[in-house]
A and B are shown apart, each in its own frame.
Chain A
Amino acid sequence: DAGVIQSPRHEVTEMGQEVTLRCKPISGHNSLFWYRQTMMRGLELLIYFNNNVPIDDSGMPEDRFSAKMPNASFSTLKIQPSEPRDSAVYFCASSLGWSSYNSPLHFGNGTRLTVT
């Protein structure tokens, strides 16, 4: 299995531009998570989906952030407009079950976003 696949690996953009991060979960996994990692705040859960339905988006920092999961094999995280403070590594993760109690998270390699 190729694991969780994220693209791009690196993204450099100017403030005000739209940024779209992409994720392909492991085939058969029905839960998908978006995390943001920074030195100051560590790993923050932004949003997660189960069976393509958003379950909890309370971690999404602002209305500038939005996420979609149109089907079981694809999700996007969009930032519009981007700001320098959005610079971070964004991880997508997937798990097999409804609850992490029985199914650990598998992380992708992350997208390093730099907003200048």
Chain B
Amino acid sequence: GENVEQHPSTLSVQEGDSAVIKCTYSDSASNYFPWYKQELGKRPQLIIDIRSNVGEKKDQRIAVTLNKTAKHFSLHITETQPEDSAVYFCAASRRGNTGKLIFGQGTTLQVKP
């Protein structure tokens, strides 16, 4: 089955710097890759997703890139702000697998003012 590895497990940056979180997946048939943000004590919430027919997607300060050949995808946050501090999860699933999202272990991002 699918296995998703996420790195780093913790990341500390200064406010205004960029942050990059990387994930690799094992199932070459996976074609949907969402990212979720979980603030302390709260539920995971979708922040951006990418499908295998595109290589990059941007939404304001957040971007995701996908390299299907290497089977890895990354989350990029620019101009980080203290409110970006949270745990970020990547996930992967294959079409037709009825929504079986497999999550990475999570990255705790700390943005220092």
Contact = CB atoms under 8 A, between A and B. Distances in A.
A108 B96 CA distance: 24
B106 A100 contact: no
Given A33-B99, A55-B98, A95-B99, A42 B105 contact: yes
A110 interface: yes
B20 interface: no
Nearest to A97: B99
Interface size class of B (residues with CB under 8 A): 20 to 34
Contacts of B42: 109
29 contacts: A31-B98, A33-B101, A43-B103, A43-B106, A48-B99, A50-B99, A55-B98, A56-B98, A56-B100, A91-B43, A95-B99, A99-B93, A99-B95, A99-B98, A100-B32, A100-B100, A101-B51, A101-B93, A103-B99, A104-B34, A104-B46, A105-B46, A105-B99, A106-B46, A107-B44, A107-B45, A109-B42, A109-B43, A110-B43
